[in-house]
Amino acid sequence: MRVLKIILLTLSLCIACMARADTDELAGQIVVHADGQSISLPMLESDVAVNIEGDMATVQITQTFLNAAQVPVEAEYLFPLNQNAAVYGMQMIVGDETIEAVIRERAAAEAEFQQAAEDGKAAALLTQHRPNMFTQRVANLMPNQPIKVVLRYVQMVPKIDGQHELVIPLIVGPRYVEAHPDLTDPLLVEFKEPEPNTWTVSDVPDYPPVAGLDLPKSFTSERVSLDLHMVAGVSVSDVASDTHPLNIQETEQGFTAQFADGKALDYRDMSLRYTLGCETLEAASLSYTDARGGFLSLMVEPPSIPDEASVMPRELVFVLDTSGSMSGLPMQASKRFMDAALRGLRPGDYFRIIPFSDSAQHFSRDAVPASARNVANGRNFVARLNVGVGTRINDAIETAFATAQPQKTMRIVVFLSDGYIGGEAQVLRTIRRQIGQSRIFAFGIGNSVNRYLLDGMADEGRGYARYVGVDEDALEVAEMLATDLKSPLLTDITIDWGDLQVTDVTPERLPDLFAGKSLRVYARHSGKGEAQVTLKGRVQGRAAEMPVTLTLTDGEGDAALPLIWARNRIATLTRQIAVGDRADAADREITRLGLEFSLQTQNTSFLAVSRQVVNTTGQEAANTYVPLPQASGVPATAFPQPFAGSSSPEPHAILGFLMIAAMSILGLRRRLT
């Protein structure tokens, strides 16, 4: 009964009476005042170190966990990584012990982690839920004994609109998971429940408690640092970030950058753009050879010609997300985009408008000509739109393809959303099935959007993705993007490899190329010396080709290239599973590649276990989440059920918080008596 009273007292006070942690210490501290005592819950700090060489980035993230309570805990931290990151290493530091993590099949890693937790050892387990969504679990985090977990990954820095852009995701936004589709719209194809022996994708993890919703905003403070170094080899210019104020210093070899205030709150993604000089080549290659064989990368840029595709009429299908997470400035930016896009329609164009939240609406059932009257009516329709609930993207995609396309037009589906859903696979499967000769342009609106989904939609739709951050320039940026809806400069791309023997080429389906964007193709090879290959495609409907000479090294070159090839190969296989294409074989190959190249995947996990026993108290560690700040630009209305892992803590998480508080009070009292 005494323990029950303490738990009830804690329940009544733990949410209302929290104090902000000292900003000189680790951020994220929650102090619970109950029964005259103070109990602290888990804290976190992240240090991000980035080294860029040209267009390749190596990133090290150090996550420091501290338990300021009086009892052992098992902390779980939900966090993002770049969807193209090849995570190749993990390390755990406990006291004076440093443990290099090993790669294991996921089920085996989870079993070893659980056994280590029961044995009282410190352990860290990294789990991938999506290519851009991970959890870090830390077992037996003891009072005032910090545990550091260091992650290492490599990625290519893509070229977008003529500049390279590095994105460091810092927050996972909420994900809407559709319980049942809307079957009332006659334009939607019949929905079928998953059949036996077909693939489904794992649920997204529970969403942690959120500052400002489940917890007072005051619990969070700036807890992420940045230390970025660039070595270019050529001139670098136009270095800037639209998301964070940075201290940028030029060096003899490139530049360095840090957050202007030293640390930043992890409530929005960080992006950095820069321009490399002397980029006049339309093709370039890298190669690497070791005991596993040869690896190559071929970079292709479109020909520098004016865009004359405007002679072809278009059917523009605007699919506009009006769910709760788009409330406020995101919706304003979407409306500004739509207004500019409608005003920019050309004579001979057709258009449709499909707003969606929990159901898809219509401006008109069929495409209408872009007459002055129809455009005016469309602008008025958009201006009157309001946000709703739910994010049923798949229904909207089905609707976009459900009507006949006007003759002699190119159908372009223009998609505006933050992508906050958990059912990415179903959306990508729908696009693969219905895309035909259409194109998809995906525009992400928000500060922490689901780039994995939106980039995937653009890839499947042979289009492109662009992103509009929610800040003071959002409306102007949205209007600029809308007035420049690009047409592809190079289509139907193929590569004639000649006498060079290549395997496992990725991507399997080469996308169209647009102005200001480059394409990288990766492959394994068995050649030496020079090889002649020919790039082929169509420029404005006319056949075009370009011969390229590859210089293939027979020794080790860029050691990161095999990791990047393997990561891109895994991305191709993951897409196969999502769209139901040879899923069983793809799943087995992902596991093999993860183990062979020591890479984190959905089937393989990094695990680190201490040699020493750290929990000698005899108490079982209580499970608890590391709370997150509220994602920038995402309103509270984005977090209700049926979001996967609602922002409200799950029952076991609430019980974990209460048990930590209760046991801490009991522990303190034992020491005082």
Whether 336 contacts 478, CB under 8 Å? yes
Pair 409, 320 in one domain: yes
What is the pLDDT, as a whole number, of residue 477?
77
pLDDT of residue 201: 47
The closest alpha carbon to 206, from 623, 644, 636, belongs to: 644
Domain limit, last residue, from 458, 482, 506: 482
- How far is residue 627's CA from residue 650's CA, in Å, rounded to a whole number? 13
**pLDDT confidence tier of residue 152, bands split at 50, 70 and 90:** very high
CA distances from 15 to 21, 132, 199 (A): 15, 31, 41
pLDDT band at residue 667 under the 50/70/90 scheme: very low
Residue 10 has pLDDT above 90, yes or no: no
Whether 439 is covered by a domain: the verdict is yes
CATH of the domain at 356: 3.40.50.410
Confidence of residue 632 (pLDDT cuts 50, 70, 90): confident
Q: Is 446 in the same domain as 513?
A: no
Percentage of the residues of the chain whose pLDDT score is greater than 70? 78
How many CB atoms neighbour CB 103 within 10 A? 22
- For residues 570 and 564, give the distance between their C-alpha atoms in angstroms, rounded to a whole number: 10
User: What percent of the chain is modeled with pLDDT above 90?
Assistant: 43
* Cα gap 271→510, rounded to integer Å: 26
Q: Which of 161-165, 514-518, 593-597 has the lowest mean pLDDT?
A: 514-518
Mean pLDDT of 415-441: 88
Report residue 135's pLDDT band, with 50, 70 and 90 as the boundaries. Answer: very high
Together in a domain, 53 and 117: yes
Instruction: Measure the CA–CA gap between 531 and 501, rounded to whole angstroms.
Output: 10
**CA distances (Å), origin 430, targets 38, 358, 507:** 53, 18, 19
What is the distance between the alpha carbons of residues 219 and 625, in angstroms, rounded to a whole number?
Answer: 14
Q: Is the pLDDT of residue 639 over 70?
A: no
User: 432 lies in a domain?
Assistant: yes
Shared domain check, 545 and 449: no
Looking at residue 28, its pLDDT comes to: 38
Residue 72 preceded by cis peptide, ω within 30: no
Q: Are residues 530 and 460 in the same domain?
A: no
Q: What is the mean pLDDT of residues 150-165?
A: 92
Amino acid type, 596: E
In a domain, 449, yes or no: yes
Is there a domain that residue 323 lies in? yes
Asked if residue 346 and residue 289 are part of one domain, the reply reads no
Q: What angle do CA 414, 416, 418 make, to 5 degrees?
A: 150
Query: Could you tell me if residue 340 is inside a domain?
Result: yes
Mean pLDDT value of segment 556-561: 75
Q: What pLDDT was estimated at residue 627?
A: 81
pLDDT of amino acid 18: 36
Domain contains 635: yes
Q: Has residue 282 got a pLDDT over 70?
A: no
Q: How far apart are CA 137 and CA 125, in angstroms?
A: 5
Top pLDDT among 364 and 113 is at: 113
Residue pair 125/190 in contact (Cβ under 8 Å)? The answer is: no
Q: What is the pLDDT of residue 252?
A: 85
Output the six-digit token pair for 486: 């690009």
pTM, full prediction? 0.83
Q: Which residue has the tokens 């958990």?
A: 422
Closest CA to 127 of 141, 113, 117: 113
Residue 371's pLDDT band, with cuts at 50, 70 and 90, is very high
> Does the pLDDT value for residue 654 go beyond 60?
no
Q: Is residue 383 predicted with pLDDT exceeding 70?
A: yes
* Structural domain ending residue among the three candidates 461, 482, 503: 482
Helix (H, G, I), strand (E, B) or coil at 11: helix
188 domain residue, yes or no:
no
Tell me the pLDDT of the chain averaged across its residues. 80
The pLDDT value recorded for residue 205 is 72
User: What is the separation, in whole angstroms, between the first and last Cα of the chain?
Assistant: 20
pLDDT of 488: 79
Same domain, 264 and 347: no
- The pLDDT-based confidence of 306 (bands split at 50, 70, 90) is low
| pLDDT single digits (tens) 187-228 | 233 333 334 333 444 566 776 767 666 555 555 568 899 999
> Mean pLDDT, to the nearest integer, of 364-374?
93
pLDDT by residue (tens digit) across 322-357?
888 888 888 888 998 899 899 988 888 999 999 988
Q: Give residue 354's pLDDT.
A: 93
Higher per-residue confidence, 470 vs 536: 536
295 vs 654, residue with greater confidence: 295
Domain of residue 562, CATH code:
2.60.40
Task: Say if residue 472's pLDDT is above 90.
Answer: no
pLDDT band at 22 (very low <50, low <70, confident <90, very high): very low
Residue 126 lies in a domain: yes
Mean pLDDT: which of 93-107, 161-175, 218-232, 398-412 is highest? 93-107
Residue 329 belongs to what domain range? Answer: 313-482
Question: How many separate domains does the chain show?
Answer: 3
Q: What's the whole-number mean pLDDT along residues 609-636? A: 87
- The whole-angstrom separation of Cα 585 and Cα 333 is 43
Looking at residue 85, the DSSP 8-state letter turns out to be -
Give the residue from 449, 482, 515 where a domain finishes.
482
Give whole-number Cα distances, 455 to 428, 441, 466, in Å. Answer: 10, 9, 9
Q: 335 and 441: one domain?
A: yes
The reply to whether 86 and 145 lie within a common domain is yes
Highest mean pLDDT (candidates 121-125, 162-166, 363-367): 121-125
Over residues 22-50, the mean pLDDT reads 55
Residue 448 has pLDDT above 80, yes or no: yes
Taking the CB of residue 375, how many other CB atoms lie within 10 A of it?
19
Which amino acid belongs to residue 254? G
pLDDT-derived band at 243 (thresholds 50, 70, 90) equals: very high
Lowest-confidence segment of 184-188, 261-265, 388-392 by average pLDDT: 184-188
Q: Is the pLDDT of residue 258 over 70?
A: yes
Q: Clarify whether residues 28 and 172 are in a common domain.
A: yes
Whether residues 137 and 173 fall in one domain: yes
Q: For residue 74, what pLDDT band results from cuts at 50, 70 and 90?
A: very high
pLDDT for the residue numbered 92: 98
User: 130-134, 182-186, 307-311: lowest mean pLDDT where?
Assistant: 182-186
Both 246 and 298 in one domain: the answer is no
Residue 9 pLDDT class (50, 70, 90 cuts)? very low
The pLDDT, as a whole number, for residue 637 is 67
